[in-house]
Structure 1
Amino acid sequence: MFKKILIANRGEVACRLIRTFRRMGIESVAIYSEADEDSPHVNRADEAYCVGPALVRESYLNISTILRIAQESGAEAIHPGYGFLSENAAFAQAVQDQGLVFIGPSADVIATMGDKLEAKRLARLSGISCIPGTDEPLADLEQADKIAAKIGYPLMVKPAAGGGGKGMRIVRHPSDLKDSLKGAINEAESSFGDSRIFFEKYIDGARHIEIQILADLHGRVIHLGERECSLQRRHQKVIEEAPSPSLTPIMRQRIGEEAVRLAKSAGYTSAGTVEFVLDPSGNFYFLEMNTRLQVEHPVTEMITGLDIVEEMVSVAAGIPLRLLQSDVQFKGHAIEARLYAEDSSRGFLPSTGRIRSYHPPFEKEGEVRLDSGIEEGTIITPYYDPLFAKLVVHQPTRELACDRMLNALNECYIRGIETNVHFLASLVNSPFFKKANFNVTTLDEYYEKGFAPVTPLDPSVAIGAAAVMHVKRRGLTSAELSVFIEREPYLVTVTVAQSRYIVTEGDSTLLVETEWKPGDVLFKSIFQGNAITLQVNTQEIKDELLWNGYGATTWVVNRKVGNLIPLMPVKEKVDSPRVVVAPMPGLVVEVAVHIGDVVKRGQPIAIIEAMKMENIIRSQRNGVIENIYVKKGESVIVDQHLAKIG
């Protein structure tokens, strides 16, 4: 077994790898860019070395420097994690050429299966159904026009390399083809250093199902069941679960057998994932193979009891798999929620800054797990992927897993940056998720313009929490109060008996039990016998309460003052769409207009790259471009002026 392994990655996956290596008695070597010098993975590793400047190409994609560090540190093997160089055949070969072990499949297999076009050819030869599309990369727009017309719309533009949803575009009309191709090529080149793209027929209403594969160096291949990965936004997975609620036992057996057959045909070794598209009629088609550890691997670990990273290390060390297919047992249901640094209220744009407050949910072995790459003080920069943690729960049934995930998200308090925590809570609490009635486009359809927590039709939880916090802050044993949610008043009476609070509003009585103290950011309580946690953001005399994907801003006063508040004037917000501003920090990769151009509402003004994703900034009005304040290649900050429209 290896004594020391270098991790060619960063953030939460590096922390997750370190945990398994430490349990196995293996020393870990971390690398970090200048922007990541104080990141948690650097401090948790046994050794850490700077790999270069913040830019990915000069650091985490710098093969020669990574190999030099591996040699200097005495590492015997390299684990690539996911993203960056994890599916780079040249890197895997270079590792081997240096006399080190690449923890993953061989370079040849990565070249074949990591290339989506080559993988489709092999799948067809193996008798596996594939989605109709091109077998060669697209050469130019003229060729693309002809092929698109032949395949038929809608279609998907995809990069031949990489993964993670980057570079993918759905094209429904010929008029959108040119811009989609351009954006896909730029994003693929930026993310993977490979601008090749191809077409696939797009299947409406499809679900995304993937099979976890394990294969050793001695010819044994098994699968560890499937994962449901259909909840995606902009082709990036948001919530995954295992097992899939959409598969029958017969479908589960067939899709697992096909995945194993493909892995054997490819001569695959290590952990890998075979991805399929499931159409509304129950037919499944090969999509691609990921020749690496997947972000969502923890849900499989939860229902099998296996550590996939440990299995990868053992396979790389030449140890035969200890399991036969018949030994793999599945227990319960697991759900993973990806925590992103993004502002859901602004269309899920990336968010950067310093984590000033971090209260993660309590982890419990076998039930609640958090793979995190942050801590208080961590700086989220614009240079890397916005994923910073994965929250995973495991329960005997899917219904119980949904409840446990919702509670864990309510307890996940992060401030200093915007996150998708409350968006995730809203998803888990939604009727379509509880009924497992969704597909790969559900999130884009339901949340096209983003998400912001709103007050539920029954605001009793917010009213009760606000009233109880008010009396506890003032040490009262009873009170008659006006609780305002925005400007809507609710007249309540509160009486106290030890840690039990009786809140009466009209004909309704609410029993609240809590040990909350002033200053606590989590209001952990029991409402009418049901446990619930609310997050509390105190803003002067108001409290913003967040729970289950809902939100309410409350203001509590005595009845006399409450009678006067409705008489106070409301300050109107000024809406001025004339100035186009950067909604996130990033790099200007294109300015799409010139001074004097006539523009229409929705027309692209500029493209900003942030966290390896291109974001089109559009005009909010019709008019004429009066001024342009930025140029291609410039870095911008949040709310920086880009252009002015007259």
Structure 2
Amino acid sequence: VVPGYQDETGDQHLLHAAAIELGLPVMVKAAAGGGGRGMRVVRSEGELDEALAGAARESTAAFGDGRLFIERFIVGGRHVEAQIFGDSSGRVVFLGERECSIQRRHQKVIEESPSPALDATLRKRLADAAVRAGEAVAYTNAGTVEFLLQPDGQFYFLEMNTRLQVEHPVDLVEWQIRVASGEDLPAQVPPSRGSALEFRIYAEDPATGFLPQPGRIAELTAPAGDDVRFDGGYETGDTVSAFYDPLIGKMIVRGDDREDALRRAAAALGATVVRGLTTNVGLLRAVVTAPDFASAAFDTTWLERSLEAGSLELEPPCEAIVAALAFDLVGGTTHPAETTGRWRPGGYEATLRYTVQGRDITVTHRRTAAGSWTVGLNDRHVELRAIVGGDGELTFALNGRMVAASVSARADHLRIQLAGDLNLHIVDRAGPRYGSGSGGKGARATGNGDIVAPLPGIVVKILVDAGQAVESQQALAVVEAMKMEHALKATREGIVSEVLVAEGERVEEGRLLIRMSENALASDPSIEPA
């Protein structure tokens, strides 16, 4: 097992001392549950006390038990779990393993089987260890034995889930019923065939630290077929609540081998449509086509590290937004923005706004010559010219490069398929279409830096006082929602002018929590950042 320490008394001073003795980094975990709740990675002693306190709060909220334990954090580790099944005769069999290393907030986002990290020798070692664990306790039922795999092939026992996993897409229920009634397992266990992946589709915003995005689903469309299955908990018109886990559904894709499964997965995710709220579908699309994922060069921290480094593209391609604009221009639509635009050097500029994947995108366009426009997309500019369109097909030049797209217009949105791109891009025109600026539920601060509640929840911690100077990205408050804690951070340097809420107070989405003022650091050297 991973070296660690557990104290039944919940004494955080003892936990602190044990963490230092184990050696940082360490993983703080909830003793009473899992699913990423009550878990923290601590890399420095200065983070330790708050991590212990936060993990205890979160564990208490989720499981009614704030007890914790500490394990040494395995750098470069992968999460691999073995499926076993035992019957009343004492026989325990291995039914394959799942690779669960693509995680956020210590929760699985993508699972695949078999694990690309295991060769035949390592797979047998891991399978034998899992079976021995089941035999040691005369286990009867489906169960999952979880391991942490080091880069050198050494693995550690993490825990055993003594049940059929709730996310399990393989139907072992018949075996459970037969074994529970006293029957033995079949003499021959069906062999594994091909490769399969499961993708969890959440109503959350990867760009804001995976904050849940509750709201009404305007449209939910997922492909289905012999090799693609969608297990959904919601349908078009349903509302994702702010009080429960934001999981919308799971997509399971099978292929003849891993390469085939990845190809099918990219096509299935590309055809998935969720409108009305922000989801992680764009992130899943980016992951499944990422070179590191294709080569299986990842660990449990890869997803969050890749997002932080900006190596996963979350935004829709520029071509999709320009295609929407080109379609509107070719269609001869008279936009209200074109009568309320403004004159700029070089011509009259119109401003309008589209929404893609729950995010507002401000678009400006200014005619520079016959059939040519300068287009602004948020903070970048491109040149658009020579639009040719008809029967839903578009061809245009973007910065001198020809782009072809198919566009289908609906009452409140456009469906855009770029040539050579598997992804269907939905560009909404519903709601307040025109104007400047952007926002959305993922925003944590107003334009002047004031901190607002990004979703309904309870303020569990205020980390600053009025008059305190803070740095950009410094945590100012912690809000608990959906039994997970979310740190609200400063978007820039400044001074806390007023704290408007108290710890323990329930707040609604959009509630002003902390009022900020301009930073006085430059003019008053006596003020030290917190």
1:491 counterpart residue number: 385
For the Cα contact (< 8 Å) 1:273–1:289, is it kept in 2?
A: yes
2:292 counterpart residue number: 432
Distance 1:473 1:532, change over 3 A: farther
CA RMSD of aligned residues (A): 3.3
Amino acid at match of 1:279: Q
2:18 counterpart residue number: 147
**What stretches of structure 2 of length at least 5 have no aligned partner?**
334-369, 440-444, 518-530
Distance 1:381 1:493, change over 3 A: closer
For the Cα contact (< 8 Å) 2:412–2:430, is it kept in 1?
A: no
TM-score (structure 1 length as normaliser)? 0.66
Structure 1 residue 217 corresponds to structure 2 residue 217: no
Distance 1:531 1:592, change over 3 A: closer
1:363 counterpart residue number: 224
Aligned-partner Cα distance in 1 for 2:331–2:180: 58
Distance 1:485 1:426, change over 3 A: farther
2:115 counterpart residue number: 244
1:353 counterpart residue number: 215
Structure 1 residue 423 corresponds to structure 2 residue 283: yes
1:28 counterpart residue number: none
Distance 1:542 1:491, change over 3 A: farther
Identity within the alignment, %? 39
Aligned-partner Cα distance in 2 for 1:285–1:389: 31
**What stretches of structure 1 of length at least 5 have no aligned partner?**
1-129, 302-306, 544-554, 556-568
2:451 counterpart residue number: 580
Q: 1:643 aligns with which of 505, 514, 526?
A: 514
1:453 counterpart residue number: 314
Q: 1:314 aligns with which of 166, 175, 178?
A: 178
Deviation at 1:612, TM superposition (A): 1.1
Deviation at 1:534, TM superposition (A): 2.1
Aligned-partner Cα distance in 2 for 1:266–1:448: 43
For the Cα contact (< 8 Å) 1:352–1:585, is it kept in 2?
A: no
For the Cα contact (< 8 Å) 1:345–1:452, is it kept in 2?
A: no
Aligned-partner Cα distance in 2 for 1:413–1:642: 34
Residue pairs, 1:473-622, within 5 angstroms:
482=373, 484=375, 486=377, 487-494=381-388, 516-519=408-411, 523=415, 527=419, 530=420, 532-539=422-429, 576-597=447-468, 599-622=470-493
Higher strand share: 2
Distance 1:571 1:250, change over 3 A: closer
Structure 1 residue 340 corresponds to structure 2 residue 230: no
Amino acid at match of 2:222: P
TM-score (structure 2 length as normaliser)? 0.80
The DSSP-based 3-state class of the residue aligned with 2:153 is coil
Aligned-partner Cα distance in 1 for 2:448–2:181: 60
Deviation at 1:152, TM superposition (A): 0.7
Distance 1:234 1:504, change over 3 A: closer
The DSSP-based 3-state class of the residue aligned with 2:287 is helix
2:132 counterpart residue number: 261
Residue pairs, 1:25-424, within 5 angstroms:
130-134=1-5, 136-137=7-8, 139-298=10-169, 301=170, 307-324=171-188, 327-358=189-220, 360-365=221-226, 367-424=227-284
Distance 1:332 1:524, change over 3 A: farther
The DSSP-based 3-state class of the residue aligned with 2:314 is coil
Higher helix share: 1
Distance 1:466 1:389, change over 3 A: same
Deviation at 1:281, TM superposition (A): 0.9
The DSSP-based 3-state class of the residue aligned with 1:448 is helix
Deviation at 1:349, TM superposition (A): 0.8
For the Cα contact (< 8 Å) 1:469–1:518, is it kept in 2?
A: no
Distance 1:236 1:212, change over 3 A: same
The DSSP-based 3-state class of the residue aligned with 1:375 is coil
Distance 1:571 1:376, change over 3 A: closer
1:80 counterpart residue number: none
For the Cα contact (< 8 Å) 2:228–2:253, is it kept in 1?
A: yes
Aligned-partner Cα distance in 1 for 2:428–2:16: 56
Count the aligned residue pairs: 472
Distance 1:605 1:461, change over 3 A: closer
Amino acid at match of 1:516: S
Distance 1:381 1:499, change over 3 A: closer
Distance 1:417 1:518, change over 3 A: closer
For the Cα contact (< 8 Å) 1:523–1:533, is it kept in 2?
A: no
Distance 1:519 1:370, change over 3 A: same
Aligned-partner Cα distance in 1 for 2:10–2:410: 64
Amino acid at match of 1:491: R
Amino acid at match of 2:145: V
The DSSP-based 3-state class of the residue aligned with 2:297 is coil
Aligned-partner Cα distance in 1 for 2:499–2:128: 57
Aligned-partner Cα distance in 1 for 2:423–2:139: 46
